[in-house]
Structure 1
Amino acid sequence: MSMAAEREAAGPESTGMEISGRWMSLAKELLATRRVVVGLAVLILLVAMAWLGPLFSPWGFGERDFTAFRSPPSADHWFGTGTTGRDIFHLTMVGLQKSILIGLCAALATTVIAALVGAFAGYYLGFTDRALMWVTDLFLVLPQFLILAILYPVLRDQGWIVFVLLLACLMWMVTAKMVRGMTISLKEREYVLAARFMGVSNRRIILRHILPNMSSLLIVDATINVSSAIILETALSYFGFGVQPPDVTLGSLIAEGSRQALAFPWTFWFCTGLLIVLVLAVNLVGDGLRDALDPHSKSRT
């Protein structure tokens, strides 16, 4: 089948010009929304701090100041020092880096898994649908901490990438069910029926015609999942299931600093404050995307 024929089968909803115009209109609407602009500005500032901050720090990641254990913020140590004399500013910036990466990667992995599982289940139905939804329901009902308790001893030394995949495995199920429902509706559209009549493979129909037409849902879901992954990583770190040394995240720093937050508050409040600001900024952008892409959103103002 020729590409021209396939584009014709896709219908006007998939034409490049209309899609480009739709995204241009979306970008203009987002930039006209105050909370989205504020959220984006804060996110850009946090990303710049995370990657440029360590370059301006007078202390390295593994360096210790043996003359300043648990020292309060000063000209030498902008955020103070911890129990071992390490510079908290440098640790916090590196932890912010890793938390942002974990949030982005976990959100992307979660959305990909949910999109593929939901789309294939909704398109094929029958045995495929029953099998995939059985797995989805199983992940929904199993206690997450039970899964972590079983897998953690095996995976704890495998690095943060494996931890990201573990987070994704705990977050994809609800979105997969939404994608399945939308796929059942989209598969009956004229452009999908035309593509099927012209001999386009089922896999190509799913990837080229069905999933792109629910991109608004997937984009909003991925954005919200960034903050969800960061919060989940923080909670897991507090209970000892998070990223392991020498890696640090905001979650692991908060878990460590919480034990001495009253006596040495700088070991806890700087990383906690950055976490709160990061999650709020992501949620501002996510809310703006949801309102722009869902005309019936109740939060539209």
Structure 2
Amino acid sequence: MTERVPDPFSPALAPAGPIVGDLELSHESGLEVKARSQWAYARIRFFRHKLAVVSLILLIIAALVAVFAEQIAPYGFDEFDFEHIVAPPTLEGWHLFGTDQLGRDYLSRVIFGLRTSLWVALLVATVATVLGTVVGAVAGYYGGIIDNLLMRLVDLILVVPFLLVLLVLSQYLGHGKPLRVGIIVALLIWVGLARIVRGVFLSLREKEFVEAARAAGAGDVRIMFRHMLPSTVGPIVVTMTLLIAAAILIEAALSFLGFGVQPPTPALGKLIGEGASEGFSSWWLVTFPGVVIVLLALSVNFIGDGLRDALDPQQRIRA
């Protein structure tokens, strides 16, 4: 009596859950396994996060509007219409967001303010990410006295009042220009990322692949940024999105208080500050820039949530 061998391709033997990778038959080499890369799995998981995808679309639209502000805005941001002073939203003259105290089209000012706020937020996130990554990597890799000194600097920045540091830096660096505002804010918010990168580097510096790189003669800089840094890309990317959201809100708050971008350059926070002086009767002067700020901050935060889930290695099996 011969034993019957089950067909390996029978549907009855198919796995109950998804399998990692794809199988493909090749006439030249037989059965091959075509594995997806880590970034391929991350992309799949990210696009399953519906809020993150919608937020990404909104952020792309906002970025395009900011880049092509001159072509999209119906008026210049400092162009006056003395026939419509503090006018509510109307189709007359295509003042869809109304006008401000000087008769300037508010839709145009919100569009140009969006460009300013996004530019400052991107600058802040970039500078803070680079600074936090370098400081955290050096502290975590070397440890000892270098780690202690750098972490005491981080603690000092954390305990000093934010507005006090901002005022001091403003006196020396000047204020009012988007570039200067971005640099000042970046110098104050990089410390959180430095702590995260330091923690990852502390856990990696005794790993076998690091010891192998040292044995192969690699220098400290190469080991840190060629071998260890790729393992921190996930936390860095997620934190950078949170820095962008924080920078949008901080810039808006600073401009509202008068420490940020100064006239005539429009910024969303500055628009809210100017509109608040008119009271509740001119509701559109506060509502429209406020809604834009909220949507920007929420969109970036949802994108950060999607990236965090997508780059979590424990989620890989679900892809």
Q: Quote the residue 2:83 is aligned against.
A: 67
Match of 1:118 among 105, 129, 136: 136
Q: CA offsets, 1:156-199, max 9 Å, x none?
A: 44621121111111111122112111111111111111111111
Q: Match for 1:152 among 160, 170, 174? A: 170
Shift of 1:43: 1.2
Report if aligned partners of 1:51, 1:93 keep a CA contact under 8 Å in 2. Answer: no
Aligned to 2:254: 236
Letter in 2 for 1:69: I
| 1:40-71 superposed Cα distances (whole Å, 9 cap, x missing partner) | 12112222333345423332122111211111
Sequence identity of aligned pairs in percent? Answer: 39
Residue type matched to 1:176 in 2?
A
CA 1:186 to 1:157, structure 2 compared with 1: closer, same or farther past 3 Å?
A: same
Secondary structure (helix, strand or coil) at the match of 2:293 reads helix
> What residue in structure 2 maps to residue 215 of structure 1?
233
RCO higher in 1 or 2 (8 Å CA, sep ≥ 6)?
Answer: 1
Match of 2:149 in 1: 131
Aligned residue for 2:189, secondary structure, equals: coil
Q: Which runs of 5+ in 1 are unaligned?
A: 1-17
**Cα distance change, pair 206–135 in 1 and its aligned pair in 2 (3 A):** same
The structure with the largest helix share of the pair is 1
Q: Does 1:191 align with 2:209?
A: yes
**Corresponding residue for residue 44 of structure 2:** 28
| Structure 2 contact 69–115 (Cα < 8 Å) conserved | no
Partner of 1:263: helix, strand, or coil? helix
C-alpha distance in structure 1 between counterparts of 2:207 and 2:153, whole Å? 28
Question: Normalized against structure 2, the TM-score is what?
Answer: 0.83
Of 44, 54, 67, the residue aligned with 1:51 is 67
User: Could you tell me how far apart the structure 1 residues matched to 2:65 and 2:279 are?
Assistant: 24
> How much has 1:110 moved relative to structure 2?
1.1
CA RMSD of aligned residues (A): 2.1
Contact 2:129 2:236 in 1 (8 A): yes
Contact 1:156–1:244 at 8 Å: present in 2 too?
Answer: no
Does the CA contact (< 8 Å) of 1:261 and 1:268 recur in 2?
A: no
Gapped regions of structure 2 (runs ≥ 5): 1-33
Number of aligned pairs?
Answer: 281
- Tell me if the contact between 2:176 and 2:262 (Cα under 8 Å) persists in the aligned partners: no
Matched residue, 1:292: 310
Q: Is the contact made by 2:85 and 2:102 (CA closer than 8 Å) also made in structure 1? A: yes
